[in-house]
A and B are shown apart, each in its own frame.
Chain A
Amino acid sequence: MKNSQKTIVNLKKSVSFLHVTYLTILLLLGSTNLNIVFGQTILDKVFTVNTENIKLKAVISQVEKQTQVNFTFSPNSINAERTVSYSANKKKISDFLQDLQRNYNIGYKIVENRVILYMIIPKAINEKNKSESAATLLDKFVTGIISDEKGVPLVGVTILEKGRPNGTSTNEKGEFSLKLTNEKAILVISSTGYEGIELKVLNTTSFNVKLLSASKSLDEVVVIGYGTVRKSDLTGSVSKVKLENAAQQTSSSYEQLLQGKASGVNITQNSGDPGSGITFNIRGTTSLGSNQPLIVIDGVPVESDNATVFAKPGADYFTSQAQPGNALANINPNDIESIEVLKDASSTAIYGSRGANGVVMITTKRGKAGRDKVSYNYRYDASQIPKEIPMLNSTQFLQYEREAYSNSHPGMTLNITGDTTHNINWQDYTFHKSNSQDHQVSILGGDEKTKYSLGANYTNVNGVVRYTYYNKEGISFNLDRQASKNFRVGITSKLNFSDNQAGLQSTNHASQGGSVVGTALRLTPLGNPLTADGEINTSLQYNPASLVKNSSSRTKNTLLLANVFGEYSIIQNELKLRVSGSINQNNSQNAVYWGRGTTTGDADNGAAFLSNSQNLNYTTEATFAYNKKLKSNDRLNAVLGYTTQTWQTTSFGQNEKGFPNDNLGAYGFAYGTTIISLPKSTNTSKYLESYLGRINYSINSKYLLTLTGRADGSSLLAPGNKWAFFPSAAFAWNLQNEHFLNHYEFISQAKFRSSYGFSGNQNIPIGSTGGLLTSNRAGIGQDSIVNGEVLQNISNPNLKWEKTGQIDIGFDLGFLNDKYQFTVDYYQKITNDLLIDLPIPTDNGFGYYATNLGKIQNSGLEFEANAHFYLAKKIQWIVAGNISFNKNKVMNLGQNGQIYGDQLIPTGLGQQGTIAKPGYALGSFYGYRIAGIYQNSKDVLSGPTDNLNSQPGDFKYTDLNHDGQITPDDRTILGNPAPKYTFGLTNTFKFKGFELGIFILGKQGQSILNLNRYYYDGLVYNASGNLRQAAWNGRWHGEGTSNYFPRAKTTGSLFDNRVSDHMIENGSFIRLKNVNLSYNFNVAKIKYISSLKAFINATNLFTITKYSGFDPEVSGLSQNSSTGLYALMQGIDFGTIPQYKTFSAGVNVIF
């Protein structure tokens, strides 16, 4: 006993040491993850009963109903018919079971999710039995001491002789003795909170047993493709994020809430405009096109390609200045229970051809047996832009004009006396403080056989860009019904509507008057936004006040997601067949209108574009799931399935102009005079057909093996290459279950994981394999315009799958009953045969063709950690963090060796600023280096020759290849848009009813191409517009005045129409993304209310960054690529609406 006390003391020391070490690690990493779920064990489930004089079995059945836990017992062993009185208020099952044991000598055992009740035979009776029915009892006793992992004796542990009504329990010293009825008896030892064990008696008569505590998290269930797996049996790399308090936070989509919460996941909101698209990468970019992961909602792969639901047939660039919306912005974050991110090949291979970019499994809330629970959440947001960019005032602007003129016309001065009375900061006319509200109502409930959930939500977001808004409404209904003993059916359904009046943002085309941000920054401060009457001055060209009011881009979207399934148990608890069908319909209408007072609207007397698109995608699926516990604690778990998915897209779009007035906007087509371009319609379909299978084999919970395979056939690919097989294998080793770790009791989890496998990508446009024609009209003859067609593409009958092979090695550690958890993963992904629209020399008659080419590598390290501390007595501190390092490298790009991104501002800059080049990261910035500014004419003469005819005060380009002249060969890699590492750190403090959550998000090491600077830092008076204060203050105006910004001038091109490192900035940032403080009122005395919570919340409170633009979180152009090389258009800021800074307050009531 003395010894063991000593051990405990030592252990305490080591624990506190561990505390400190662990804390240090966490702080160093700046990381952790609050939302890793701690599964609620059966025993923690709560119920309330208040009965008098009813049968015990009725009490049990009430508990069953409320807690949804099955109780099993034999009427022979337990007298459940006896009449009892029992009352319990919010008691746990464990308390109930203790009451049963204390009052009725009823013991229990937990098997899977059931509680098995049995009669405890008291020692006295045992003794009595011994004398009265000696014939049934052997003369054999077993004795022993049962203790926990640390050797502390356990009281009240049940010891049963297997299969016999014979048992006992331990005394206060943990001792027991039992007389056996069978020579080959097996002892079943069980106790609440510990893992039960079975022992063969054989010749042993004395046992010294240590029970392992049942780890909570290890029993947690993780959703993987086509099934679930206990976390302890998981072999792959999966991050689980539980969306707690989603409704308390401002978010326009679920991705925003996922940002920074899971390792390996890099999410960038493309723009602050609510409902705008999101760039979502898992473990780096593997593809030159879209790298969006596959999104699976409740088992249904849904359409998440933003471009698909943003179909704007017949739109020219001017009518599509709004960002593509987010296909899944309509999914209500509050409907989501948890999100699992599948990262390694072992987890993604089950999604075969679509798994290469990772898979995001979204599980929505479902009904639970028990009392119907109504909850209501209200939130009010007040938002604003994070900062303004200081621009020149009107006096400075006139000074700029004079200086520019004099510099370009030596010896001449410009006599201008501009009207400086207005001195407008146009940002004030574009942005305002806005407010929003969010309502969420849900009802969840059910009984043993039927469970349901109903939800409704309404969100009204008013944009910080004036006149913009984003409204969404949705309802959801989920139902599960146990139709018979073996047959279960259910439906999951959501119907969401959104109405998005978006702010106009630049695509890679810069049309002044086409982007609210660009126009606000570019217009000179001299104009008058308002007329003498106080009306908006529409005669001022590009008037931002007019632009925000008189132009609109409105997208109305309807999203229907419905899934019906039936599940039949062919062999109870072992073999199940599940058949399901799902519909995912996404319809949108896009209405763009340019009214009078905008450049286009004035030219055209109102110009309208209206398009409708219907995207239907349906899935049928049949899977067999086999689950068998084999002898010697081995488990076999297998899935075999067949699934098909069909996508059908139709759309129609038309343009018109010449409206009598602007009253009807884009809906007044009956009144227009002229069609701008011919209406366009589309109608295409694609199919995917797949066979899938997976085997999980677990040996003694120690060695876990997973084999997965999927064969996919796609209509997108060429005959002969349509089918491909994506296999993977994984092995994991639960070291904590090994004997050699038994002595290190503080280790509650130690798992080594490894996997290797393949997944794919089929993301190419429909029709890439065949040759197509496209319409091109011609004017021939007397006033006649004829139809004509020209070749559209090169047919590629060899197109095949893009394949990604990935190796993953991971380690999961848990200490002190998983109070501290730590996960590390290393991976290397190699993508081969990239499916790309490869740019080719245009002498081929085409600018590109669809092909498979090249090789890209992503490798990285990911850490996730979380810990739970008690500060003082009642303050809980939960810290969760993650940090992910990814290195992206293009390995090979075939014969030509490099691929350029789109031209930036084709009407101005006209250069590509990004490249995919072997040895460098995908989408690296590419251009000239500037060594400084030419200070004097001697300096110019000694510089390399350049056709710019440079003067002192102009940029001095670096002659990188030392050939004495500046040519395109002097371009080089200037930066990488992908962060070196990203991290998220969540700290949660709980004290009595208070809860404080602080979430910090960081991305480090990425560059941004700040294209706004092309205009507002260019210092070419005639070509730009207003200047940024910093550029004016820092300009060159004489030898030695500046070596960074050039001189002001009136001729020439902005930045010499060259992409240079001048526009590349450090995009690293650390952002206090969210702070949430809530208080849970004590409602014990309030009837009908079971919970009442009030909260305040702040989003994007501050950002630490060196970036000079509005917001370092940009990816504005990534979904606007005209060539589809989306991955090459990241990290470019061009008239992007910044993320809002938002303060919120609200309440949450549960009835």
Chain B
Amino acid sequence: MFVYLKMFVKMNNIKAILLSAVLLLIIVSCNKNLTQSINDTQSVTSVSTTADVLNVLQGTYGILQNQNMYKEGLLKLILLCGDDFTSSSNQFQIYSQRVYNSSSPDIQNAYAGYYSIVNNCNFILSYLPNIKTASGTDSTLKVKEEGETRFFRAFSYFDLVRLFGQIPIRTQPTNINTNFYTTRQSVDSVYALIFSDLKIASTELNYKSSSDGVGLTNKGAVQALQALAFLTYANYLDRTGGNGHALYKSADSCSNLVIKSGGYSLVPNYADLWNVENESNNYGSEIIFGIRFTRDRSVSSTASQGSGYASRFMPSTMGGVCGNTTKNINGDLGSGSGTYRIEPWFYNYYTSGDYSIDNRANTTFLTSWIRKPGSGSIYVTYPNLPSYSKDTVLSNQQFPFIQKYQDPKGLDAADNENDMFIFRLSEMYLIQAEAENEYAGFPTSTAIADFNKVRTRAGNPILATNKLTQNAFRRKIFDERGIEFVGECKRWFDMVRMKGSDSTGLLYPTMFQYQFANYLSSVSSGLPLLDKVNQVWVTTTPGGLTDPYSIIAYNSKFLLFPIPQSERDENPSLTQNTGW
């Protein structure tokens, strides 16, 4: 190299070399610092005040409202896997027919959705201590934010542990040094985390005040969740050979705190709960916590903040019940899609016996309707006959529908106002009744009073439950919950949680087992058939009262959902639930 350099110099081109060097320097000096510029997205480091934290907290709550969660996807699991609903719609029927598996996307999406909430909560909880507060109100806000965050984390873990059993526990925000491949933790440790979060949250939050926004988390919601979590965990311990006895007492006292808080009251008329225009007022009385959906004028359809229940639950031949902008076969706007349908046996169950004059059945079930407001044409379902009315009956269907969710002012099929109520005061009465019954070993007077509060609201006479055994009373509560909360995502959880018993009080490990292994298999399989000649519905062979595809042989694997296969693909150390 030196030789060439010498030649270079020899050529008397020192000037040239200097020129080159100067040019090189000029060029090199326009050196960039190689920082990237992202002007369209906020950085995590921008979170520095309680207002910023509130922003993340609201975003986190928003996850519960996403399409994969309570807006739609999650309902496929927790609604259709009960015994009360069925569906023949593509993407839905795999749940009602129970042919879903560990690769079914809705399960994966719900699992991921809850953990996304958990991680955001972990982020807030780890970040909050560093947030400097400017004033007294600011530090009050900071405490409140922590309480709400803990509530959402506990809420997510509670749903996760009930759906999947043992699950990974994450309490720190995920970062690059996190062990991404953890193992499933015991159900006990998940509940321990839930209870510790809720305990702290209940001290950090106050009962709702008039200044609170509707649907925000408060002490009532925390205690309601505590009550149900204690009850569920106690059931779990009882079922798995542990001792849940003391926990029933905790469930009892938590539900009692909510009942006695004075902040809530039963809506006198059950039907008023489902008047969408009255929804916000109901938060002032009976609703303790709900997933808030709002007609969204700036975003539509699946991405909107509205719900799709009005469309999913209502029949496709009834116009004007939701915001659906597609005309149905009659050319009417606002019709439902008839996705979720009631099993005929369920309808029969709650319109006979103890429930024959229950006004919740009238309010809840939809068995006949006019085509659209102002139109005389009528549709009927089982058990109505085509001769039901003098008006023209256009068709008959085998499944009744649920009419709790309607929003004629909705903006489109998936953008309606209807909320999903998570906790209502009536459930607190039923939890207290159940907890007392479990703790005392018999229906206590408080239990009976609570039970009858819910029952009489529905127009029923007081039930002489004091003559019932513990088991029979438990079964009464199960049944009561079945009609009180139909379409409110409670049934599947109750079925896998509660000890099963037939109407005489004979015991089974779970209601799910009793229903599928004993009761439903004794009901004639198949849908009611209309005998047009004799004008009767045939509900015994060749007809029946159940969707033959949805009533499958009992298999204990259905007590839990499978850990999503994609999770196990990524993390082979995650075990699978038995049977999946």
Q: How far is the CB of B304 from chain A (nearest CB, A)?
A: 8
Q: Which residue of A lies closest to B215 (CB)?
A: A780
Mask for A947-975, Cβ within 8 A of B = 1, else 0? Answer: 11100000000000000000110000000
A845 touches B119 (CB 8 A): yes
B34 touches A843 (CB 8 A): no
Q: A632 in the interface, Cβ–Cβ < 8 Å? A: no
Q: Which residue of B lies closest to A723 (CB)?
A: B34
Q: Which residues of A contact B57 (CB under 8 A)?
A: 788
One of B19, B40, B413 near A683 (C-beta < 8 A): B40
Q: How far is the CB of B480 from chain A (nearest CB, A)?
A: 30
Q: Which residues of B contact A683 (CB under 8 A)?
A: 38-40
Q: B505 in the interface, Cβ–Cβ < 8 Å? A: no
Which residues, 793 to 852 on A, are CB-close (under 8 Å) to B? 794-798, 839-847, 849
Q: How far is the CB of A28 from chain B (nearest CB, A)?
A: 44
Given A676-B300, A781-B214, are A767 and B38 neighbors across the interface (CB < 8 Å)? yes
Mask for A603-636, Cβ within 8 A of B = 1, else 0? Answer: 1110000000000000010101000100000001
One of B63, B99, B175, B580 near A790 (C-beta < 8 A): B63
B34 touches A689 (CB 8 A): yes
Q: B135 in the interface, Cβ–Cβ < 8 Å? A: no
Q: Which residues of A contact B108 (CB under 8 A)?
A: 842
Q: Which residues of B contact A577 (CB under 8 A)?
A: 20, 23
One of B37, B181, B280 near A782 (C-beta < 8 A): B280
B37 touches A841 (CB 8 A): no
- Which of B194-202, B246-254, B287-295 lines the interface with chain A? B287-295
One of A644, A675, A788, A908 near B55 (C-beta < 8 A): A788
Q: A670 in the interface, Cβ–Cβ < 8 Å? A: no
Mask for B283-316, Cβ within 8 A of A = 1, else 0? Answer: 0000000001111111111010110000000000
Q: B442 in the interface, Cβ–Cβ < 8 Å? A: no
Q: Which residues of B contact A896 (CB under 8 A)?
A: 181, 570-572
B305 touches A777 (CB 8 A): yes
Q: Which residue of B lies closest to A714 (CB)?
A: B34
Q: B213 in the interface, Cβ–Cβ < 8 Å? A: yes
Given A683-B39, A790-B120, A843-B567, are A777 and B34 neighbors across the interface (CB < 8 Å)? no
Q: How far is the CB of A971 from chain B (nearest CB, A)?
A: 9
Mask for B13-34, Cβ within 8 A of A = 1, else 0? Answer: 1001001100110011011101
Q: How far is the CB of A713 from chain B (nearest CB, A)?
A: 5
Given A722-B34, A781-B214, A903-B105, are A844 and B294 neighbors across the interface (CB < 8 Å)? no
Given A722-B34, A773-B44, are A845 and B99 neighbors across the interface (CB < 8 Å)? no
Q: Which residues of B contact A795 (CB under 8 A)?
A: 44, 175-176
Q: How far is the CB of B347 from chain A (nearest CB, A)?
A: 23
- Which of A489-497, A1036-1044, A1049-1057 lines the interface with chain B? A1049-1057
Which residues, 883 to 918 on A, are CB-close (under 8 Å) to B? 895-898, 900, 903, 906-908, 910-912
A772 touches B41 (CB 8 A): yes
Q: Which residues of B contact A794 (CB under 8 A)?
A: 174-176, 178
Q: Which residues of B contact A1023 (CB under 8 A)?
A: 90
Q: A791 in the interface, Cβ–Cβ < 8 Å? A: yes
A267 to B549, CA, bound (A): 48
Which residues, 727 to 761 on A, are CB-close (under 8 Å) to B? none
Q: B62 in the interface, Cβ–Cβ < 8 Å? A: yes
Q: Which residues of A contact B11 (CB under 8 A)?
A: 571
Q: Which residues of A contact B296 (CB under 8 A)?
A: 779, 785
A782 touches B214 (CB 8 A): yes
Q: How far is the CB of B4 from chain A (nearest CB, A)?
A: 7
B215 touches A781 (CB 8 A): yes
Q: A390 in the interface, Cβ–Cβ < 8 Å? A: no
Q: Which residues of A contact B2 (CB under 8 A)?
A: none
Which residues, 99 to 158 on B, are CB-close (under 8 Å) to A? 99, 101-105, 108, 111-112, 115-116, 118-120, 122-123
Q: Which residues of B contact A770 (CB under 8 A)?
A: 38, 43-45
Q: A686 in the interface, Cβ–Cβ < 8 Å? A: yes
B63 touches A779 (CB 8 A): no
Given A766-B38, A846-B174, are A674 and B59 neighbors across the interface (CB < 8 Å)? no
A646 to B30, CA, bound (A): 13
Q: Which residues of A contact B564 (CB under 8 A)?
A: 842
Q: B182 in the interface, Cβ–Cβ < 8 Å? A: yes
Q: How far is the CB of B27 from chain A (nearest CB, A)?
A: 4
B116 touches A790 (CB 8 A): yes
Which residues, 71 to 94 on B, are CB-close (under 8 Å) to A? 88, 90-91, 93-94
Q: Which residues of B contact A847 (CB under 8 A)?
A: 112
Q: B375 in the interface, Cβ–Cβ < 8 Å? A: no
Q: Which residues of B contact A124 (CB under 8 A)?
A: none
Please report the number of residue pairs spanning A and B whose Cβ atoms sit closer than 8 angstroms: 302
One of A681, A776, A849 near B40 (C-beta < 8 A): A681
Mask for A677-697, Cβ within 8 A of B = 1, else 0? Answer: 110011111110100000000
Q: B209 in the interface, Cβ–Cβ < 8 Å? A: no
B294 touches A776 (CB 8 A): no
Q: A602 in the interface, Cβ–Cβ < 8 Å? A: yes
A772 to B297, CA, bound (A): 27
B36 touches A968 (CB 8 A): no
One of A674, A789, A841, A967 near B411 (C-beta < 8 A): A674
Q: Which residue of A lies closest to B64 (CB)?
A: A778
Q: How far is the CB of B388 from chain A (nearest CB, A)?
A: 26
Q: B536 in the interface, Cβ–Cβ < 8 Å? A: no
A603 to B112, CA, bound (A): 30
Q: How far is the CB of A353 from chain B (nearest CB, A)?
A: 12
Q: Which residues of B contact A571 (CB under 8 A)?
A: 11, 13, 16
Q: Which residue of B lies closest to A688 (CB)?
A: B34
Q: Which residue of B lies closest to A926 (CB)?
A: B569
Q: Which residue of A lies closest to B60 (CB)?
A: A790
B180 touches A575 (CB 8 A): no
Q: How far is the CB of B446 from chain A (nearest CB, A)?
A: 35
Q: Which residue of A lies closest to B104 (CB)?
A: A910
One of B43, B59, B63, B216 near A772 (C-beta < 8 A): B43
Q: Which residue of A lies closest to B555 (CB)?
A: A947
Given A685-B37, A898-B569, are A570 and B19 neighbors across the interface (CB < 8 Å)? yes
Q: Which residue of B lies closest to A847 (CB)?
A: B112
One of B32, B46, B305 near A779 (C-beta < 8 A): B305
A34 to B481, CA, bound (A): 81
A774 touches B41 (CB 8 A): yes
Q: A50 in the interface, Cβ–Cβ < 8 Å? A: no
Q: B58 in the interface, Cβ–Cβ < 8 Å? A: yes
A842 to B182, CA, bound (A): 11
Q: B170 in the interface, Cβ–Cβ < 8 Å? A: yes
One of A676, A689, A715, A789 near B299 (C-beta < 8 A): A676
A843 touches B170 (CB 8 A): yes
Q: Which residues of A contact B213 (CB under 8 A)?
A: 780-782, 784
Q: How far is the CB of A637 from chain B (nearest CB, A)?
A: 12
A36 to B499, CA, bound (A): 81
B61 touches A780 (CB 8 A): yes
B214 touches A715 (CB 8 A): no
Q: B325 in the interface, Cβ–Cβ < 8 Å? A: yes
A713 touches B34 (CB 8 A): yes
A789 touches B55 (CB 8 A): yes
A910 to B68, CA, bound (A): 14
B4 touches A628 (CB 8 A): yes
Known: A571-B13, A676-B303. 13 other contacts (CB 8 A): A579-B27, A722-B34, A771-B44, A778-B292, A782-B213, A791-B120, A794-B178, A797-B176, A842-B564, A842-B566, A843-B115, A845-B116, A908-B91
The 7 closest A-B pairs by CB, nearest first: A845-B119, A788-B59, A781-B213, A778-B62, A771-B44, A788-B58, A842-B112
A residues apposed to B, CB below 8 Å: 316, 570-571, 575, 577, 579, 602-605, 620, 622, 624, 628, 636, 642, 644, 646, 657-658, 674-678, 681-687, 689, 713-716, 722, 766-767, 769-792, 794-798, 839-847, 849, 895-898, 900, 903, 906-908, 910-912, 947-949, 967-968, 1022-1023, 1051-1053, 1057-1058
Could you name 7 residue pairs across A and B whose Cβ atoms are closer than 8 Å? A658-B325, A676-B301, A676-B303, A677-B303, A683-B39, A772-B42, A895-B181
